Amino acid sequence: NRQILLKSRPIGAPTADNFELVNSPIPTPAAGKVLLRTTYLSLDPYMRGRMSDAPSYAPPVALGTPMVGGTIARVESSQHPDYQAGDLVLSYSGWQDYTLSDGTGLNKLAADMPQPSMALGVLGMPGFTAYMGLLDIGQPKAGDTVVVAAASGAVGSIVGQIAKLHGCRVVGIAGGEDKCRYVVEELGFDACIDRRDADFATQLAAACPAGIDVYFENVGGAVFDAVLPLLNVGARVPVCGLIASYNATDLPAGPDRLGLLMGTLLKKRIKMQGFIIFDDYGHRYPEFFSAMSIWLSQGKIKFREDIVAGLENAPQAFIGLLQGENFGKLVVRVAA
């Protein structure tokens, strides 16, 4: 049973040394337990927070224990009345081949689901995050200009497509030409600006001639600095993630822009609201699942997965996620 443990807490960007791959015997299920074999492991930005022991909305991973993570797993063997060998489940097994479960938190998936990894992306946590953050907090109206960064990623790609379905003008921000081309040509956004271009802020302003009504915040940092002056009176800003600062060890160098931020919120009556998807919206998952299933079956939502082969490659893939190396929802194929 291969497991990837958190060996040490990163200072700044995580490195391979923060992880340790170990091998242990495959456990045997006692009465009331199932043995799960991981097939897909989801890699998500929030895992950077779990590697750190700074106060957060969820406890850190303890040193010397497996990294946490959402997974798709097969029941290998079962001593639990509700599960039998071969069942496919959504679980929270973490970065390892095998785990025991008493059934808590498991969700059965159709055993013949053609692409089970979708339950970790477009039909799972990231898709749900895009749906609730945009619709409940962003309140998009037809004709609004909606801006989202990390636009080719798991959350951003869905935010923009749902906004298009609501009749909005949608401008994405992404790292690199390939991602920007995909966002416009495949996902149907109206424009996409490369955050790495030197004149990024000027290009963003030109792509938003009527200002910004909804800014779905995925990244923070320099992208937010460019967005702030473009926000319209009454704009809504769902604060979903701040990935640009997840590896930061200090506050950025001055000047202090807090006054500018607060002044803009006040004068333009802007609503900014953070959210933690399952804590705040867990009860609305069925509504999301049925809406997204219909859009997918009608071909109205597209998605892209970045699938990395082999559990041993999870640390490197995760390190790359925090630097924009993934292109689409990052998933590790752990077993066939």
Residue 63 or 222: the one with the smaller Cβ distance to ligand NDP is 222
Residues numbered 123 to 182 that lie near ligand NDP (CB under 6 A) are 126, 129, 149-150, 152-156, 174-175, 179
* Tally of CA atoms within 13 A in the half-sphere of 112 that contains its CB: 0
| Residue 37 or 179 with smaller CB distance to ligand NDP | 179
Q: How far is the CB of 29 from ligand NDP (least distance, A)?
A: 31
123 Cβ neighbours under 8 A, 6+ residues apart: 289, 292, 293, 296
The reply to whether 304 sits near ligand NDP by the rule CB under 6 A is: no
For residues 253 and 336, which CB has a smaller minimum distance to ligand NDP in the complex?
253
**Among the residue ranges 78-86, 138-146, 214-222, 295-303, the one whose residues contact ligand NDP (CB under 6 A):** 214-222
From residue 223 to residue 242, what is the string marking binding to ligand NDP with x (rule CB under 6 A)? x----------------xx-
The contact pattern for ligand NDP, residues 262-291, with x = CB under 6 A and - = no contact, is: -------------xxx--------------
Amino acid at 79: Q
What are the CA-CA distances from residue 320 to residues 11, 13, 59, 324 (Å)?
A: 16, 10, 24, 6
Q: Is 81 exposed, middle or buried (0-12, 13-18, 19+ CB in 10 A)?
A: exposed
- Binder of ligand NDP out of 68, 244, 301, 332 (CB under 6 A): 244
What lies within 8 Å, CB to CB, of 322 at 6+ separation is 13, 14, 45, 48, 243, 246, 247
- Of 101, 326, 331, 333, the one binding ligand NDP by CB under 6 A: 326
Kindly give the pairing relationship between strand 98-101 and strand 88-91. unpaired
Pick 103 or 221: Cβ nearer ligand NDP: 221
Minimum CB distance to ligand NDP smaller for 83 or for 224: 224
- Residue 89 or 149: which CB sits closer to ligand NDP? 149
Interface with ligand NDP includes 200 (CB under 6 A)?
no
Give the list of residues 6+ apart from residue 214 with CB closer than 8 angstroms, or none.
134, 138, 139, 140, 144, 145, 146, 147, 163, 168, 235, 236, 237, 238
Report which residue type is found at 61.
V
CB under 6 A: which stretch of 4-12, 19-27, 41-49, 76-84 binds ligand NDP?
Answer: 41-49
Verify binding: residue 68, ligand NDP, rule CB under 6 A: no
Compute CA 298 distance to the chain's CA centroid, rounded to the nearest angstrom: 24
- Binding flag, residue 39, ligand NDP (CB under 6 A): no
The continuous run of DSSP H or E covering 201 comes out as: helix 200-207
Burial 92-110 (b: 16+ CB within 10 A, else e): ebbbbbbbebeeeebeebe
CB atoms within 10 A of CB 27: 12
Residues lying near ligand NDP in the complex (CB under 6 A): 44-46, 126, 129, 149-150, 152-156, 174-175, 179, 195, 218-219, 221, 223, 240-241, 243-244, 275-277, 321-324, 326, 329
